[in-house]
Amino acid sequence: MSTAVRKCPICKRPAEAALAPFCSQRCADADLRQWLTGGYAIPARADDDESDDDLPPAPRDSED
Ligand SMILES: [Zn+2]
């Protein structure tokens, strides 16, 4: 039987058994973050389309 050493998907180093398939907690965190940001597509250009030019009309105190 050959020992199949998994490689860390982040840095390609041999994975740590306790942290498989990652080599370190750091890489596990990095992958998780990557997965989260990729999965929950964050609207990157939210304030790109909507301009704040639409100011509410100033209350007019017309005295006529
Ligand atoms: Zn790694």
Give the position of tokens 């509410």.
Answer: 56
55 CA distance to ligand 1 middle (Å): 50
11 CA distance to ligand 1 middle (Å): 4
Give the mean pLDDT of the chain.
80
- Residue 22, pLDDT score: 95
43 CA distance to ligand 1 middle (Å): 29
Q: Where are the alpha helices (DSSP H) in the chain?
A: 25-39, 46-49
41 CA distance to ligand 1 middle (Å): 24
Could you tell me the pLDDT band of residue 39, with boundaries at 50, 70 and 90?
low
- Residue 25, pLDDT score: 97
Euclidean distance between CA atoms 14 and 49, whole angstroms = 45
Residue 7 three-state SS: strand
Predicted confidence (pLDDT) at residue 15 exceeds the cutoff of 70:
yes
What ranges do the domains of the chain cover? 1-38
pTM: 0.51
- Residue 42, pLDDT score: 55
Neighbouring C-alpha atoms within 13 Å toward the C-beta of 18: 2
Predicted confidence (pLDDT) at residue 48 exceeds the cutoff of 70:
no
